Structure 1
C-alpha cells in the first residue's frame, strides 16, 4: 500500500517576506522614493506639454491664420499631418514609437533608454493633435524607462529583479495622479503586471511609495504653476438613487452591450493595424484623415463641437454628465458611432493608451440608455464606464474602481450595479475572445 512521504525541511516553502527584512529592500524603497520625485515631475511636464499642444493646434493656430473660430473641417488636415509625423517616427526611430495600443494594456517591462525619444515624440504628436487615445501608456513607459535608466547610472550591478521593481515604481510615479487617485493607479499597474500571491505586497510597496510621492509632486507642481494636476476629475455629480431590480436588469444589458461593442472595436482596430503596418507612413496619414473626417461629420450633423470626437475624452466626461440634458438621443448615438470608429482608427496606428476613450464611449452609451425607463443617469454613466473599460482592458478590479471612485460619494451608491455590469462584460468578453488570440501573442503591452 503506498504511503505519503514525510515532509522534509528542505520541502518547506520559502518565506516570501524574507526580502522585506533585508537591508537591500530598505535601499530599494529609498531608491523608489528618490526616483519618484524627478519621474513624476517629468510626467507632469509631459501632460502639460500635451495640453499646450492641444490648445495650440486646435485653438491658437486657427486664430493665427485669421479664423474667428476653429472651422469644423480643421481636424481633417490636422490629423492628416499628425498621421504623417507619427508614421515617420514609428518607421524611423528606435522602439517603433512605443506599444501598439490596439493590443491593449499589459506590462512587458520598462523600455530601453534608446526607445524613449521615439515613445515621447509619437505620443506628443498623437495626443496633442487629436488622436483618440489617452496618455496612460506613454506615461507608464516613460516612468519605467527613466527609472531603470537612472537606477543603472547609480548602481550598475543592479540585479534583474530589483531592476524590474525600480521600473515598476517609476511607472507608478508617472501615472499615480492621472487617474485621480494613487491607489487607482496602483491597482491598474498591479492588474496589468499580473501580480498575485504573497509576493504581491513585496512587489507593490515600492510602487505605492512612488505613487504617493508622485501624487504629492503633481499636486505641488499643479499649485505652483497654476496648470492644475491633470488628474481625472468630475465636476458636479447628480445624486444617485438606491439600486433596485430595474437597475440590476440594466446592469446585465449594459454588460452585454459593452462586451460586444468592445469586441468589435478591438477586432476592427487589430485588422486595421495589420493593414497599416504594410505601409506605415502613408496608412497612418490616411487613418488620421479618417479620424478628422469623423469629427467633421459629427460637428456638421449634430451642431456640437467636433473636438468631442477627438482626443481621449477625459476632460469631456464631466461636461457629458452635468450637461446631459443638452444632448438628444440621436446626438448621443452619433457621438458613440463617430467616437468608436475614431477610436478604432487611432488604436490601429497612433501611439497612446486605450483607457480614457473606452471610459468615454461607455459613459456616452450609459447616458443614452438613461433616456429609457428604469435606468437612472448617474448609474447608467457609471455602469457604462466600468463595463466598457473591462471590455477593452480585461482588468475587472481597475474597471470597478475607475467607475466608482470617479463619482465620489455617489459612486459608493451605484457600486453594486457597476460590479454586476463589469462582471457580465468581463465574462462575455472572455467568451468572445478566441483562445488563439492570447496564444498567438495578440496581447496588450504597456510600453
Structure 2
C-alpha cells in the first residue's frame, strides 16, 4: 500500500507528501544526533581513563611525552585488531570515502563504532564525521526498510547524511549548503526548496537535538571587524592561499603515505605503526596537536596571546602530518575537523605576521582555504569560516576571496584516496 501520495504532473512533491515524509525526517534527525552524542560521550569517558586516570597511576599526565607515545601506539594496535578481526572490518577505509557513501550492512556498525570511539579517545587526528554519517545511514536504512518500505532508500541516505551534518555543526545551514549541489542535480521537477525541505527537516532536528543534549559547538567568540577596507581582500587572500596550499600538500601526500602503510597488508601492523608515528608527532607537538581538534581550535581562538609564531607553525605543521598519517594508516574518522584546526593556526599566524589584518578575517580565511582544498566545496568552506568567528562583516569578503582560491584548488588533488591510488590497483587502460 502506498504510504505517501505520488508527486504531481511536474514531478514536484505535493504539500501532503512533504508533510507525511517530514515525520521520518524528524525522527532520523533526532536519532542521528543521539547516536553522535552517545559516541562523543563514550569517547569522552574513555578519554578520561586514558589521559587522566591511568597516567596519574604512573606519575605522568596528558602532556608527558612518553605517555603520549604509549597511548597512541596502543590505540593504533586496538584499532588494528578491530579492523582485522571484528566482523565487517569497521567498514570502508575512511581515507577512501567522502562524507556521503552507499549504506553499509547493519552488521558492520558495531565494529565501526568501536573503531571510531577508540580513535577519538586515543588522540588520533581525525574527526567523527565520515564514520558517524556511515553509522547513521546504515541504522536509518535498516530501520526504514522494515517500518516504511515506501520511503526510497536514496532519500533515507540523504536524510541521514543531512541529519548528521546538522548535528555535527550545530545548525541545519551546514547541511543545506553541503547538499545543495546534490539535490539540485536530481532530475525531478519542483523548486530547489522542495528538494531541500526534507533534508532541512532532518538536519534541523539533528541540530536542535544535539543542542538539547549539550553537544559541542563550532562557534567561538572573536573580536569583530570595525569596518571593511579594500586592502583586507588582499590580506585575506594571502592567508587563504597559504592555507589552501597546506591542504593541497596534504592531498598530495595522502595517497603516497596510504600506499606505504597499506603495503604491509595487515591492519594490525599498519595501524599500530601509524599509532607509533602519531605518538612521535604528539611528543613533538604536544597535546594541542592530538585529537580531532575542536577543543584545541577553541583554545587557539579564545587565547591567541598564549601562542607565538613558532608555536603556531609547529602546530600547523605537525597537525598536517598527523592528519595524513591518521587517514592513511587505517584509522576511522573524518578530515574536516583537524583541517579546521590547521586553518585556524594558519589564520592566527597570518594575524601575527600581517600588520592590520583583523583577527576575525584572518581566522575565517585560514579555515576557508584548507577546508576548500579538503572538500572542494565553496559553500561549506565559507560556512565554516563564518561559523568560527560569527562576524557578519567577514561574509562579503569571504565570498570574494573564495573565488581566486577556488582557481588554486579546483585542479589540485582531492584529500581522498581513489581506487587507482590504492596498493595493487591497476590503472584503467588509456583511451585514444
Task: Report SS of the residue matched to 1:97.
Answer: coil
Question: Counterparts of 1:5-24 in structure 2 under 5 Å?
Answer: 15-17=10-12, 19-21=13-15, 23=17
- Give the match for residue 262 of structure 1: 247
Question: Separation in 2 of the partners of 1:249 and 1:194?
Answer: 33
* Residue 126 of structure 2 corresponds to residue 146 of structure 1: no
C-alpha distance in structure 1 between counterparts of 2:60 and 2:419, whole Å: 52
| 1:328 CA displacement | 1.0
1:120 CA drift (Å): 1.0
Runs of 4+ more than 6 Å apart:
none
The whole-number CA distance in structure 2 between the counterparts of 1:169 and 1:126 is 26
- Aligned pair count reads 407
Q: Distance in 1 between matches of 2:94 and 2:357?
A: 32
Which stretch of structure 1 is more off in the superposition, 399-408 or 414-423? 414-423
Q: 2:410 is paired with a residue of what secondary structure?
A: helix
For residues 184-222 of structure 1, the C-alpha deviation after alignment (integer angstroms, 9 at most, x for no partner) is 1332344577756756434432221122222232233x2
Match of 1:233 in 2: 219
- Which residues in structure 2 correspond to 1:62-211 (within 5 Å)? 62-67=55-60, 70-103=63-96, 105-155=98-148, 157-158=149-150, 162-191=152-181, 195=185, 200-211=192-203
Report the TM-score, using the length of structure 1 for normalisation.
Answer: 0.83
Cross-structure match for 2:3: none
1:272-319 CA distances to partner (integer Å, 9 max, x unpaired)? 112222323212111111111111112xxxxxxx22110111112222
Change over 3 Å in CA distance of 1:115–1:439 after alignment to 2: closer
Residues 73 and 293 of structure 1 are in contact (CA less than 8 Å); yes or no, is this contact kept in structure 2? no
| Aligned counterparts of 1:420 and 1:64: Cα–Cα separation in 2 | 54
Shift of 1:385: 0.6
Question: Given the alignment, which residue of 286, 295, 313 partners 1:333?
Answer: 313
**SS in structure 2 opposite 1:178?**
helix
Aligned partners of 1:103 and 1:270 also within 8 Å = no
Instruction: Calculate the TM-score normalised by the size of structure 2.
Output: 0.86
Deviations 1:357-412 (A, max 9, x none): 1111011001011122242222111100111101111111011011112322x2x1
**Match for 1:387 among 363, 369, 374?**
369
Tell whether the 8 Å contact from 2:323 to 2:338 is kept in structure 1 after alignment.
yes
CA distance 1:425–1:192, shift in 2 (3 Å): farther
Alignment correspondent of 1:318: 298
Pair 1:47-2:32 in alignment: no
Work out whether residues 259 and 426 of structure 1, in 8 Å CA contact, stay in contact via their aligned partners in 2: no
Q: Do the aligned partners of 1:86 and 1:126 also contact (CA within 8 Å) in 2?
A: yes
Name stretches of at least 5 consecutive residues in structure 1 with no aligned partner: 1-12, 223-227, 299-305, 443-447
Matched residues in 1 for 2:153 and 2:315: separation? 44
**In structure 2, how many angstroms separate the alpha carbons of the residues matched to 1:374 and 1:167?**
46
Please give the secondary structure, in 1, of the residue aligned with 2:66: coil
Task: Give ranges in structure 2 of 5+ residues lacking alignment.
Answer: 1-7, 423-432
What's the counterpart of residue 364 of structure 1? 345
Counterparts of 2:53 and 2:182 in 1: how far apart (Å)? 38
Distance 1:69-1:105 versus aligned 2 partners, 3 A rule: closer
Question: Does the 8 Å CA contact 1:387/1:418 hold for their aligned counterparts?
Answer: no
Q: Is the contact between residue 159 and residue 199 of structure 2 (CA under 8 Å) also seen in structure 1? A: yes
Task: Judge which range, 347-356 or 177-186, deviates more.
Answer: 177-186
Report how far residue 128 of structure 1 moved.
1.2
**Farther-moved stretch of structure 1 (197-206 vs 380-389):** 197-206
* Cα 1:127–1:189 shift into 2, 3 Å: farther
Between the aligned partners of 1:55 and 1:190, the Cα distance in structure 2 is: 39
Q: In structure 1, what is the equivalent of residue 428 of structure 2?
A: none
Partner in structure 2 of residue 419 of structure 1: 399
How many Å apart are 1:72 and its aligned residue? 2.5
Instruction: State the Cα RMSD in Å.
Output: 2.6
CA distance in 1, matches of 2:387, 2:127: 19
Change (3 A) 1:83 1:190: farther
